[in-house]
Structure 1
Amino acid sequence: MNIGDVARRSGLPAKTIRYYEDIGLIRPKRSENGYRSFRESDLHKLAFLGRARALGFTIEDCRTLVALYEDEARESAQVKHIAEEHLRQIDDKIAQLQSMRATLDKLVHACAGDHRPDCPILEDLAQETSDPATCE
């Protein structure tokens, strides 16, 4: 298969596939003229990577997950540890986003939104704080 075929079948853009090759996540064969030749195993690995990336795993996590997938002597505990750490990071991000939303909601409701120049939103943004999610 050429890169266009594998892009269509995997659902990944050709640019992403080239990037994955550049960083060593996939290694398609090359013909004498230098064209990539993808095998079914490459397509399967690209689908795996696409799903892992859609779940938010980092490139390095993907590299580790692919290696574990290909290692028949792997321990599922290793995979679970990676997934649990990623889940913890997602939970942290959700908490940060909820805090940001609560703060912004409070500011929006405090602003009259009329023709006067005073604005609690701008006043809050002008404060010197290290964490915008905790501004009050």
Structure 2
Amino acid sequence: MRIKELAQATGVDVETIRYYEKQSLLPAPARQDNGYRDYTDTHLEQLAFIRHCRALEMPLADIRRLLSALDAPGKPHPDVDQLVQEQIERVRARLKSMRALEKQLLLLKASCGRCDDDGADCGILKELVAAAHGEACACHSVKLP
């Protein structure tokens, strides 16, 4: 199959497929007589695997290590569990950061109640301007991790 067909079958952009080839995540396909790349079902399966790992937000370096483990069936792969554990830790750190961000936004939203009756003196805008000038504001009373 051609690259466009592979892209359609997997939902991965053509340029991304070429990038994965350059990064040696996908093996280089054979070329047809006309010079077009000729992808196989193996490419399709490997690209689907990469796409799933990327959906789990795994870094390309980790995906490369996982692909190496797939290429060596029957051998022990203790680092695979470690890779997943490290990804869990990265996700937990991001969740913690996102919860802190949510708290800041909720505090900012709460400042909306401090608007003038005509809405001309918006509390949210005041808080954002104060923060931009490095002044203390309600939304920065929560510390990011």
TM interval, shorter chain, is 0.7 to 0.9
- Secondary structure at the aligned position of 1:24 is classed as coil
**Any residues of structure 2 matched to 1:1-136 within 5 Å, and which?**
1-26=1-26, 27-111=28-112, 112-113=114-115, 114-116=119-121, 119-127=126-134, 135-136=140-141
Superposed displacement of residue 76, structure 1: 4.0
Runs (5+) with no aligned partner, structure 1: none
Q: How far apart are 1:67 and its partner, in Å?
A: 0.9
State the TM-score, normalizing by the size of structure 1: 0.85
**How far apart in 2 are the matches of 1:43 and 1:55?**
19
Q: Which runs of 5+ in 2 are unaligned?
A: none
For 1:125 and 1:21, locate their aligned partners in 2 and report how far apart those are by CA, in whole Å.
Answer: 43
1:3–1:37 CA contact under 8 A, matched in 2: yes
Identity %: 25
Per-residue CA deviations over 1:7-40 (Å, capped at 9, x if unaligned) read 1222212121111112211121123432111111
Report the CA distance between 1:117 and its aligned residue: 6.5
Deviation at 1:75, TM superposition (A): 2.6
Root-mean-square deviation over aligned CA pairs = 2.1
Please list every run of at least 4 consecutive aligned residues from structure 1 whose deviation after the TM superposition is greater than 4 angstroms: none
Larger deviation: 76-85 or 106-115? 106-115
The normalised TM-score by structure 2 is 0.80
Distance 1:59 1:3, change over 3 A: same
Mapped contact 1:108–1:121 kept (Cα < 8 A): no
